[in-house]
Amino acid sequence: MKERVILHSDANCFYASCEMVLNPSLRDKAVAVGGNEAERHGIILAKSEKAKKAGVTTGMPLWEAREKCKDLIIVPPHFEIYSKFSKLLRKIYERYTDYIEPFGLDECWLDVTSCQTDGFIIAEEIRQAVKDELGLTVSIGVSFNKVFAKLGSDLKKPDATTVISKDNFKEKIWPLPVSELLFCGRQTTKTLRECGVTTIGALAKMPKDFIERRLGKNGASLWDYANGLDSSPVIHKDHYTPPKSVGHGVTCVENLINNDEASKVIVSLSLDIGYKLRKENLYANGVSLVVKDENFVSYSYQKRFEGSTQDESLLAREAISLLKSNYPWRFKIRALTITAISIETSDTPVQTDMFFDTEKEEKKKRLSSAVDSIKDTYGKSSILPATVLDEKKMPAHEADRATLPGNMKKG
């Protein structure tokens, strides 16, 4: 097969940069996007390069950020503006290819193999166009697979292009910590460290079957990634079909005996679903709950909503009420699966988020977005609702399960 040319374009400090485009007096200053200044519990959602250098981190309380960085300017978020800029970026990419696969609001993979132009030249043109036309900057990685392209875009920031070729990947990628690899979660990183593997190069040099024995199929995929063997395609923009449902299930380490225990598991499971919906810009119009009892008999319950949502607490609430009003409790519960159903993208013309207008829900959205940022930075179990703290019947590794975008499949 012909060598592919894959670009991964990542907008630098996306939220903060959008704010600077709209208010140039903020340029080159320490800027953070954060919750309402008046609110005592506001936290940092995003920060500019300068704020980052001063020690401001995502998820930090506003007061602490201000202490770390005396001249920090905190602006409220404008999510509708970020989504506009995200679409404008996409329009620029579309000049080169229709194979555009988004990863969150500010990142995209592009397959430009058919362009007949050097990948580096295309990357430089895109970088310049984004700067001229939108006033934003992007970092672009150019490589022969998606995984290395993504790593490449992280190597030089902001406003830069990095080429990872078959000739230089050992020198550029292999020294990086293995945790940088897509889908290498906290638990996996820990297991690898126990095997003496801390860098991507060390993983690549291990025997594949050893890694597979220790980490299963996920390990085998990671080994492929480390060796530049990722062959997952960039999805065509019209074929990027969001999953029809986003679900998460678990077999409990011990059977659940009452609604209270089951509710905690449901809350835990829905956390992941809310996170994934927001990551992929999807909305759910209903929820389904599948209960498997100790005799392996399954019961399935569903509920449709009157609008769409990304809110995990709503999904959890509805799933719990399905359970309470339907499950006969003649037997203990062995496994639970909760699924967000009739999924639609945020691009669906009639946006019917049933809570969109109210101020309270806007706040909740901002909170979710902040919580997601913390999860992105510190891992999925870094921040949890108090309800699930004393939950003990879920397998421990569940919290670190990777959430896969598009068709990047584990194994």
What is the radius of gyration, based on Cα positions, of the chain?
22
Q: Binding another protein by CB under 8 A: which of 1, 2, 24, 244?
A: 24
Nearer to another protein, 130 or 271 (CB): 130
Q: How far apart are CA 236 and CA 130, in angstroms?
A: 21
Among 40, 41, 53, 84, binds another protein (CB under 8 A): 84
Would you call 398 a catalytic residue per the annotation?
Answer: no
Tell me the three state secondary structure of residue 61: strand
Out of 15, 82, 85, 283, point to the residue binding another protein (CB under 8 A).
85
27/68 with CB nearer another protein: 27
Q: How far is the CB of 314 from Mg ion (least distance, A)?
A: 29
Judged by CB under 8 A, the stretch of 84-92, 185-193, 353-361, 366-374 that binds another protein is 84-92
Q: Which does 283 bind (CB under 5 to 8 A by kind): another protein, Mg ion, none?
A: none
* Whether 284 contacts 305, CB under 8 Å: yes
Beta bridge partners of 105: none
17 vs 218, beta carbon nearer another protein: 17
Specify burial of residue 95 (Cβ count, 10 A radius: 0-12, 13-18, 19+): exposed
Q: Is 135 in the site for another protein (CB under 8 A)?
A: yes
Q: With CB cut-offs between 5 and 8 Å by kind, which of Mg ion, another protein, none does residue 23 bind?
A: another protein
Helix, strand, coil percentages in the chain from 3-state DSSP, rounded to 5: 45, 20, 35
Chain-centroid distance, C-alpha 411: 19
Asked if 81 interacts with another protein (CB under 8 A), we say: yes
Instruction: Supply the minimum distance, in Å, between the C-beta of residue 238 and another protein.
Output: 23
Distance of closest approach, residue 83 Cβ to Mg ion, in angstroms: 15
> Closer CB to another protein, residue 35 or residue 274?
35
**134 or 314, CB closer to another protein?**
134
Which of 22, 229, 257, 404 is the binder for another protein (CB under 8 A)?
22
Nearest to 101 by CA among 3, 298, 195, 238: 238
Work out what residue 106 binds among Mg ion, another protein, none; the CB cut-off runs from 5 to 8 Å by kind.
Answer: Mg ion
Helix 14-22 to helix 79-93 angle, to the nearest 10 degrees?
A: 100
* Shortest CB 26 distance to another protein, Å: 8
Other CB atoms within a 10 A radius of the CB of residue 37 amount to 12
Q: Assess 306 for contact with another protein (CB under 8 A).
A: no
Residue 24 CA to residue 135 CA, distance in Å, equals 10
Report, in Å, the least distance between residue 83 CB and another protein.
12
Pick what 10 binds: another protein, Mg ion, none; C-beta below 5 to 8 Å, kind-dependent: Mg ion
Q: Does 396 bind another protein (CB under 8 A)?
A: no
Cα angle value 70/72/78 (rounded, 5°): 160
Q: With binding defined as CB under 8 A, does residue 78 bind another protein?
A: yes
| Calpha distance 302→68 (Å, rounded) | 48
82 binds another protein (CB under 8 A): no
Q: Which is nearer to another protein, 27 or 214 (CB)?
A: 27
User: Minimum CB separation from another protein for residue 135, in Å?
Assistant: 4
Q: Which residues contact 75 (CB under 8 A, 6 or more apart)?
A: 19, 23, 26, 31, 32, 33, 34
Helix ranges restricted to H, 94-199: 119-129, 146-155, 169-172, 186-194
Name 31's Cβ contacts closer than 8 Å, sequence gap at least 6.
Answer: 16, 19, 20, 47, 48, 50, 51, 72, 73, 74, 75
Exactly one of 37, 39, 101, 107 is catalytic; name it.
Answer: 107
Contacts with Mg ion by CB under 5 A lie at: 10-11, 14, 106
Q: Token pair for residue 367?
A: 């909170």
Considering the complex, state which of residue 88 and residue 404 has its C-beta at the smaller distance from another protein.
88
Active site residues: 107
